[in-house]
Amino acid sequence: MALRQYPRDLRGLGQSVIEDGEVHIWHAFCGTNPDIEGMSKLLASDERERMARFRFETDQQNFLFCRSMLRILLASYLGSPPAELRFAYSAHGRPSLAAPPTGLEFNLSHSAGTVLLAVCQGRRIGVDVERIRHDFKVQEIAQKFFSVAERQALEQETSVHDAFFHCWTRKEAFVKARGEGLSCPLDSFDVSVDPNDEEVTLSTRPDSSEARRWKVRSLNFFSEHAAALAVEQWR
C-alpha cells in the first residue's frame, strides 16, 4: 500500500501513476480562506447546486474543498482537466467516474475538517474517517448497530470511545466498499474493535467466505481521529 501526502500547493501536483495492486491514500485538512472562486470553477452545475443547499458557510466550504480535491487528484491520474471529469452515481449514491471506463476506483470521507481519499485500480474500495468524540453514548449506539460479538468485545476495552470509533470506521469502510448502502446491515458482519489493530479481522454472514475477498486496515494517521480502509483482495 502506497501512502502519499496531499500537497499544500495544488499547482505543484503533476502526473500521478498507480500500479495494479497499489492503494494510494491521500489526506488533507480543509483550510481557512479557500480559493472559492477558483475551486468553484472546477465543479459541475449539479455539484454547485448541492453546495448551495448547505445552510452554513463552513459546510459549503468543506464540500467545495472536498469536491475540488477529488477532481484535482483524479485528474492527475487520468491526465485530464479537473473540470472536465464527469461522475455517475449508483442507486445508493456512490460516485464513480462516468464513461469511458478507466478502471480507476476511489472513495472519499471527511470529518471535522479532515479529508481522506483512497484510490486503486479495478478493485472496489471504501474509506472512512471520524473524529473521536467523548460526548457520544457509544454503548447505546453499539447496541443498535453493532453485532453481538462487537458489543461483547467493546465491553472489554479500557478506552470505550476509542474502540467504538475504530470499530465504526472499519464497518463504514467495508459497507462503502461493497457499495450497498443501508441494504447491508451493520450487524451482519464483525470487525475487530481494538484500536491498535492495523490488520483488521473480518467475519461475514451468512456467507463466511465473503470475508476472504476483502482486506480491512486501520489508518491511524491522525490524533483524535479513527480511520479505516476496505479493499477487495488482489488474487
DSSP output for 143-201: HHHS-HHHHHHHHT-SSHHHHHHHHHHHHHHHHHHHT-GGGS-GGGEEE---TT-SB--
Please report where in the chains the cell 458482519 appears, as a residue. 189
Higher pLDDT, 98 or 6: 98
Q: Looking at the structure, do residues 14 and 80 belong to the same domain, yes or no?
A: yes
The answer, yes or no, to whether residue 185 has pLDDT greater than 90, is: no
CATH number (domain holding residue 210): 3.90.470.20
Cross-strand bridge partners of residue 111: 114
Average pLDDT, the chain: 89
Report pLDDT for 5.
Answer: 47
Q: How many beta carbons lie within 10 A of that of residue 89, not counting itself?
A: 11
The answer, yes or no, to whether residue 56 has pLDDT greater than 60, is: yes
Instruction: Give the global pTM.
Output: 0.90
Digit-coded pLDDT (tens) for 128-174: 999 999 998 999 999 999 999 999 999 999 999 999 999 999 999 99
Q: Looking at the structure, do residues 111 and 132 belong to the same domain, yes or no?
A: no
The Cα-based distances of 5 to 2, 52, 117, 118 in angstroms read 10, 30, 11, 12
Report pLDDT for 184.
Answer: 82
CA atoms within 13 A on the CB side of 19: 3
Q: Looking at the structure, do residues 13 and 109 belong to the same domain, yes or no?
A: yes
Q: Looking at the structure, do residues 23 and 49 belong to the same domain, yes or no?
A: yes
Q: Looking at the structure, do residues 116 and 174 belong to the same domain, yes or no?
A: no
Domain that holds residue 208: 128-232
- Report the phi/psi class of residue 161: left, alpha or beta, with left for phi > 0 and alpha for psi in -120 to 50: alpha
- Number of structural domains, the chain? 2
The answer, yes or no, to whether residue 14 has pLDDT greater than 60, is: yes
CB of 217 within 8 A of CB of 229? yes
Q: Which of 126, 120, 223, 206 is nearest to 169 (CA)?
A: 126
- Measured distance CA(91)–CA(151) in Å, rounded: 31
- Measured distance CA(177)–CA(165) in Å, rounded: 18
The pLDDT confidence band at residue 33, using thresholds 50, 70 and 90, is low
